[in-house]
Amino acid sequence: MSKLDGAEVNSDVVPAHIAIIMDGNNRWAKKKHLPSIAGHTAGASAVRRTVEVAAKSGVKVLTLFAFSSENWKRPKPEVDGLMGLFMRSLKKELKRLNEHKIRLKVIGDISGFSKPLQEQIQRVEDATKNHGQMTLVIAANYGGRWDIAQATKAVVERVVSGELSIDDIDEVSLGEHIQLADLPPPDLLIRTSGEERISNFLLWQTAYSEFVFLPVLWPDFDQSHFKSAIEVYQSRQRRYGGR
């Protein structure tokens, strides 16, 4: 058993992999008559809280949707602010990740980021690669359709090179090139803000995930909401297409 916000949680049925669509930063800021970057900064604090409680509750993989491939369409000042916040968070949180033995993995097309940001991502990934308490995955410049397309391209390249025949292409061979192929698929997908869609996030990986949609805006997400989502997950029977 493990403790979560003062309550006992059955660690045998805590999801091994939780994915979260962190939605609501802008609405949170707007409600408080603040600029959008204030919402994203408050959202970063919610990330810190969530990483800590996930690790304490026995979650092995926590995947957070930080920046989608569609988010580039947002106003340039907001995008620039997000990039700066990402850089500062990577620098600031490295010590905390090392202290708690948490590995960082970034998925997505990071070639779209500035060279300094790419280098900082690589530094933090290298510094934490041997940690085993939990893997924190940040999906940045990520889209589920992009993910499937890049995996398809990788398989086609193997066919062209003669390493793989067309008849060998199946879910397994394609899945080997999907992002997170080295990790178990998400057991639970949480989305905050009350929206009930997955917005091009982990389309392949969440085929049999349980979805929980919460009305809370992401900056207000805390241990009680995390615990509530896990309780909903624990109340469900997962059939994987069977009875």
Q: 242 pLDDT exceeds 70?
A: no
Structure tokens given for 198? 């997955």
Q: CA–CA separation, 200 vs 219, rounded Å?
A: 22
Catalytic residues: 23, 71
Domain residue spans in the chain? 2-234
Report the pLDDT value the prediction gives residue 10, as an integer from 0 to 100.
Answer: 54
For 168-192, what is each residue's pLDDT tens digit? 999 999 999 999 999 999 999 999 9
Better pLDDT: 219 or 236: 219
pTM: 0.92
Give the mean pLDDT of the chain.
93
pLDDT at 7 over 50: no
**pLDDT band, residue 3 (cuts 50/70/90):** low
How many of the other CB atoms lie within 10 Å of CB of 93?
19
- The CATH class of 2-234 is alpha beta
Q: pLDDT grade, residue 157 (50/70/90)?
A: very high
